[in-house]
Amino acid sequence: MLRKFTIEEFNKELNKNTSISSSEIRGVVTKICENVREAGDEKLIEYTAKFDGVKLESLLVSAEEISFAYENVTKEWVESLQKAIKNIRSFHQKQVKTSWFETLPNGVIRGKLVRPIEKIGVYVPGGKAAYPSSALMGIIPALVAGASDISIVTPPDKSGLIACETLVAAHELGVKRIYKIGGAQAIAALAYGSETVKKVDKIVGPGNVYVTAAKKEVFGDVGIDMLAGPSEVCVFCDYTSKPLYVAADLLAQAEHDPLARVLLISKTEDLVGQILEELSKQIVRLPKRDIAKKSLSKGSYLVIESDDIAAKVINQFAPEHLELAIEKPFEFLHRINNAGSIFLGNYAAESLGDYFAGVNHILPTNGTSKFSSSLGVDDFVKYSEILYYSKEAMQEDGKEVVILAESEGLEAHANAIKVRCDG
């Protein structure tokens, strides 16, 4: 179960090496990317056979497979999915920015054009499990931003099929191009294109260490969203917290991955005891209890009475998910600078954010919320700055530009102004 840490011990733990991948993984990924870039479909089929255990006849999902998917999900599930889509879309529509222009009195016009990134590739984890929620989180903000060309890559199962739920989710959002490839080879295919796979401008979506290392490898040839690591949660609780709920939320993250990071901050030792007792009761009922046990064995708890100190620890951890299961979460919120997504009160379970409420679950991990944010509409747009000068404005401002340019020794820059002012 969770280990008790002092603040000093926890800070030392945070400072340990948490690099994205080992040199061995990076070497493998570099070779995969090079091979896919050079040999295209041939290597994609070869790697899918090697890593996923299936020899594909086609890399593209067919219309027949989409029909089969709809036949194998329930009406109730589709209805729940559609409600989730509505919530996620409405949340992301609030993020839309528009182009703007301003006209100054001297005839200068300045502004910014907002334009969507046209070609987007979304990585959706798969293979042994279905993650349609990750499809929603990657596709919907791209659609809201105005992306006109969206592709999905997701690994097939041993029979060469994609999870029915993932196919239905993509189809409900109007995505037509779904490729049956996963891992580093899928990222390389999106970055460089192949006979079948269409090259994209930006790649988003979570994946394992090989996927993450591949995104790092191709960055610069294409854009990426972030370098995400294993999932994280921090729960801050007090006497108003419900141990039953807190334990359930800790396990919700722990079942993701043996490397998932779990942190509990409590105001009293007695409350920790109640939560640990609940963890012991609930974990035995989980199908993925072995994964959860490994995660919890590396997890931590701290007893901190002071709100100020608790906030400092949270901001240093900079968790992917932060739950403020305390009496006055809104009053504490202003203390938080670093967190991917924040859940307030006893009833804002993190699972709501994963699936339904509208907030995005593709989030910065490994302390990167100190400088980055959740996936959103801004990740799918780019900005062009606009400038117009009248002749009168040039005459007015030109001498200042000449002075500044000449101070840097850039005479051609200065001359570009002089010829206009003298003309």
Which tens digits make up the pLDDT trace of 45-72?
999 999 999 999 999 999 999 999 999 9
Instruction: Give CA–CA dist 119/152, Å, rounded.
Output: 11
pLDDT of residue 21: 66
Rounded to two decimals, the pTM is 0.94
135 and 71 assigned to the same domain: yes
Q: Give the DSSP H/E element, type plus range, for residue 36.
A: helix 23-39
Domain extent, residue 346, equals 229-371
pLDDT band at 18 (very low <50, low <70, confident <90, very high): low
Dihedral of CA atoms 134, 140, 143, 144 in degrees, nearest 10, equals -150
57 and 168 assigned to the same domain: yes
66 and 211 assigned to the same domain: yes
Q: How many domains are contained in the chain?
A: 3
Tell me if 12 is assigned to some domain.
Answer: no
251 and 323 assigned to the same domain: yes
Tell me if 16 is assigned to some domain.
Answer: no
Half-sphere exposure of 151 (CA within 13 A, CB side): 26
Mean predicted confidence (pLDDT) in 118-132: 92
- Residue 414: pLDDT above 60? yes
Least confident of 5-19, 145-159, 220-234: 5-19
pLDDT of residue 17: 56
- Residue 301: pLDDT above 60? yes
Active site residues: 320-321
38 and 128 assigned to the same domain: yes
Tell me if 287 is assigned to some domain.
Answer: yes
Tell me if 10 is assigned to some domain.
Answer: no
Share above pLDDT 90 across residues of the chain, in percent, rounded to a whole number: 94
Tell me if 6 is assigned to some domain.
Answer: no
109 and 184 assigned to the same domain: yes
For the domain that residue 123 is a member of, what is the CATH number? Answer: 3.40.50.1980
204 and 233 assigned to the same domain: no
Mean predicted confidence (pLDDT) in 74-82: 98
Half-sphere exposure of 165 (CA within 13 A, CB side): 19
At residue 67, the 3 state secondary structure works out as helix
Mean predicted confidence (pLDDT) in 104-121: 96
Token output for 318: 């900079």
241 and 203 assigned to the same domain: no
**How does the average pLDDT of the chain come out, rounded?**
96
Half-sphere exposure of 322 (CA within 13 A, CB side): 29
307 φ/ψ sector (left φ>0, alpha ψ -120 to 50, else beta): alpha
Instruction: Give residue-wise pLDDT tens across range 241-294.
Output: 999 999 999 999 999 999 999 999 999 999 999 999 999 999 999 999 999 999
Among 62, 30, 11, 256, residue whose Cα is nearest residue 167: 62
Query: For the residues of 392-408, what is the DSSP string, one character each?
Result: HHHHHHHHHHHHHHHHT
Instruction: Give residue-wise pLDDT tens across range 206-247.
Output: 999 999 999 999 999 999 999 988 999 999 999 999 999 999
Final residue of a domain: which of 190, 224, 258?
A: 224
345 and 418 assigned to the same domain: no
DSSP-H helix ranges across 152-268: 164-172, 183-192, 209-218, 243-254
Tell me if 17 is assigned to some domain.
Answer: no
Least confident of 22-26, 71-75, 390-394: 22-26
Tell me if 377 is assigned to some domain.
Answer: no
49 and 197 assigned to the same domain: yes
308 and 247 assigned to the same domain: yes
220 and 233 assigned to the same domain: no
Tell me if 9 is assigned to some domain.
Answer: no
Final residue of a domain: which of 202, 224, 246?
A: 224
Final residue of a domain: which of 193, 224, 255?
A: 224
